[in-house]
Structure 1
Amino acid sequence: MVGKIVLVLLVGLMGITYKTITPPPPKICGSPSGPPVTGPRVRLKDDRLLAYFEKGDARAKATYKIVMAHGFHCSRYDSLLASQEFLEEHGVYILSYDRAGYGESDPNPKRSVKSEAFDVENLADALQLGPKFYVMGFSMGGHTVWSCLKYIPHRLAGAALIAPVVNYWWPSFPPSLSQEAFKWQLVQDQWAVRVFHYAPRLTYWWITQKWFPGSSVSASDNKIFNPWDTKLIPNITEFRKHFEHQARQQGIYESLVRDANVGFGSWDYDPMELHNPFPNGEGSVHLWHGDDDLIVPVMLQRYIPTKLPWIKYHELPSVGHMLIYDPNICDTILKALLQGEKNSS
């Protein structure tokens, strides 16, 4: 009798465990049970649909064409807050898009670091941006830029990494520095990143559980914002109020979970072994980071240009993480890319 009770309890426990770690099916945009499609989309070579948003100078006549990859818990509308006047004056066209599973873009069950680059290339070709274009990535969108530098460098005219999330398991980071940066995080984020890397099948449960503190970034905890960020929050909230809900509307698993597992998982290459995509100075790569960023540790960003001296590193004093929501910084980032193009011409 005792054995039967134990067996029943074990089966019940296994059922509960399976339910808590298994996400519900995604709510695909445009499907009968899914959110509506509100903006333009293109069909990729693998038949997925990618939603996009355009701003700045007209695509057909723009001199500089930029593809922008958004961050964690964001969408295609989270683009650089450069003014329309600035963009038109300098001939800049920005194409931002919902990365796979976010917003109104179809999920990608085979999503990987490599697939990020080919989504960008497919999108650029579908909208006829030409043989070369610029790429920018903010925060978690940084791994999209690293992917482009690895897999499609021949398509790039320039690139900018803006407060990019780092992967603590990149082999070229000195172990002592990685450990220092890892421990610099909030304890709850140390545990979250461990789950993302070592136990990806538990990521959905970790992000949704209420037993103890989970990822501070997933929860948008105020502790991750420094005073500079905090001053921007009211403007960011107002700017995002009409579209913020879209980011994970197809399901947390297809957006946040897959993003975290790709960004913090095991990559099939080491970014710090990349070669300069512009050996003749025909373009430039920039990395922008605030020295008081409470989300991504600055010490690892400082190390990257020591391994990749062709990356132009810009450290902003007293600045936090939310760089793309400061119009002045956005103008500065764009000017640096444009100046790199002018210097090479």
Structure 2
Amino acid sequence: MLDCLPITTPRIKLRDGRHLSYKEYGVPKESAKYKIIFVHGFDSVKYYNVIADTASPALIEELGIYIVSFDRPGYGESDSDPKRTLKSMALDTEELADQLGLGSKFYVVGFSMGGQAVWPILKYIPHRLAGATLIAPVVNYWWPNFPSNLSSQEYSKQLVRYKWSLWVVHHLPSLTYWWNTRTWFPPHSVIAHSPDVLSPQDRKLVPVFTRE
């Protein structure tokens, strides 16, 4: 269906014929001191770039920051990737950097679920990175290197429906799609756009990110 819609931003053609749509922010990459690839989160697109949205243009200019944000496969104006793997996500990012001429090393920033893409980038192409940052990343409460008391403590603070959906994802991952598409089960708090999942501080910031 994407072919029926007008394409509004530049796209690159990847090694397998797919297209990846992107948007550039900040100073020209030719003169930039810092070249950053920003990876958006769940239920988002390349236009929601928290760095460009929150940093003043004057600061970006002063620091010499160039940022490129792209629609992840299947989002926005990027083609879907039915064969997507963690490694292919890292290679997509590397190919974007190469086709845009970002040089041998660049920075990556993953916001929220975008952090999921940063981990394989760290694993598969660490030699291409000047640095990596996670902003408000989604965590796995079953990560073995997390202190068990900290994981249990934070997990206990989550909404009941959030706990249920996380339990399904961890213990019965094959049922994840089915669970989240049944109206009689409590959906994941993020999928439901529930404000209850936000802290008081986050709720104050919502207008900043939802302004026209």
Normalised by the size of structure 2, how large is the TM-score? 0.90
**Matching residue of 2:72:** 99
Which of 96, 99, 116 is residue 126 of structure 1 equivalent to? 99
Larger Rg, first or second structure (1 or 2): 1
Instruction: For 1:116 and 1:181, locate their aligned partners in 2 and report how far apart those are by CA, in whole Å.
Output: 29
Q: Match for 1:157: what amino acid?
A: A
The match for 1:8 is none
Please give the residue correspondences for 1:233-244 in structure 2 after superposition, counting only pairs within 5 Å: 233-239=206-212
Query: For residues 164 and 191 of structure 2, what CA distance do their matches in structure 1 show?
Result: 13
Whole-Å separation in 2 of the counterparts to 1:113 and 1:181 = 27
Q: 1:108-257 maps to which residues of 2 (within 5 A)? A: 108-239=81-212
- Per mean C-alpha deviation after superposition, the further-off stretch among 196-205 and 218-227 is 196-205
**Could you tell me how far apart the structure 1 residues matched to 2:151 and 2:200 are?**
26
Aligned length: 209
C-alpha separation between the residues in 1 aligned to 2:93 and 2:162? 29
- Residue 47 (str. 1) matches residue 11 (str. 2): no
- Gaps (5+ residues) in structure 2? none
What is the Cα deviation at residue 147 of structure 1? 1.6
Determine the C-alpha separation between the residues in 2 that align with 1:172 and 1:228: 28
Q: CA deviation at 1:105?
A: 1.2
Is 1:38 the equivalent of 2:11? no
What is the Cα deviation at residue 44 of structure 1? 1.2
Residue 77 (structure 1) aligns with:
47
CA distance in 1, matches of 2:72, 2:132: 18
CA distance in structure 2 between the partners assigned to 1:226 and 1:175 by the alignment: 23
Report the Cα distance in structure 1 between the residues aligned to 2:203 and 2:144, rounded to whole angstroms.
34
Deviation at 1:194, TM superposition (A): 2.4
Which one-letter code corresponds to 1:44 in the other structure? L
Q: Deviations over 1:6-25 (max 9, x none)?
A: xxxxxxxxxxxxxxxxxxxx
Deviations 1:151-196 (A, max 9, x none): 1111011111111111233232344443333333211111112233
**Equivalent-residue separation in structure 2 for 1:192 and 1:113 (angstroms):** 22
Tell me how far apart the structure 2 counterparts of residues 226 and 37 of structure 1 sit (CA, whole Å).
Answer: 37
Structure 1 residues 138 and 192, CA gap change in structure 2 (3 angstroms): same
Q: Counterpart of 1:193 in 2: which secondary structure?
A: helix
TM-score, structure 1 as length reference = 0.57
Q: Give me the identity figure in percent.
A: 54
Query: Is the 2:165–2:186 contact (alpha carbons within 8 Å) kept by the matching residues of 1?
Result: no
For 1:36 and 1:196, the matched residues in 2 are separated by 36
d(CA) in 1 for partners of 2:195, 2:47: 22
Q: Relative to 1, partners in 2 of residues 1:57 and 1:107: Cα closer, same or farther, differing over 3 Å?
A: same
Deviations 1:58-106 (A, max 9, x none): 1222121000011111111111122222212211100111111111111
1:62 equivalenced with 2:51 (yes/no): no
Specify the SS of the correspondent of 1:60.
Answer: helix
SS in 2 for 1:51: strand
In 2, the alpha carbon distance for the partners of 1:98 and 1:109 equals 15
Question: Larger deviation: 108-117 or 50-59?
Answer: 108-117
Q: Take 1:181 and 1:232, find their aligned partners in 2: how far apart are those partners?
A: 22
Equivalent-residue separation in structure 1 for 2:151 and 2:136 (angstroms): 17
Report the 3-state secondary structure (helix = DSSP H, G, I; strand = E; otherwise coil) of the residue aligned with 1:66.
strand
Q: Give the conservation status (yes or no) of the 8 Å contact 1:55–1:84.
A: no
SS of residue in 2 equivalent to 1:129: coil
Task: State the Cα deviation string for residues 28-66 of structure 1 (Å, max 9, x = none).
Answer: x22x4xx43221111111221111110000122212100
Measured in 1, the distance between the counterparts of 2:26 and 2:15 equals 27
AA aligned to 1:58 is P
2:63 aligned partner: 90
User: How do 1:253-292 residues align onto structure 2 when only pairs under 5 Å count?
Assistant: none
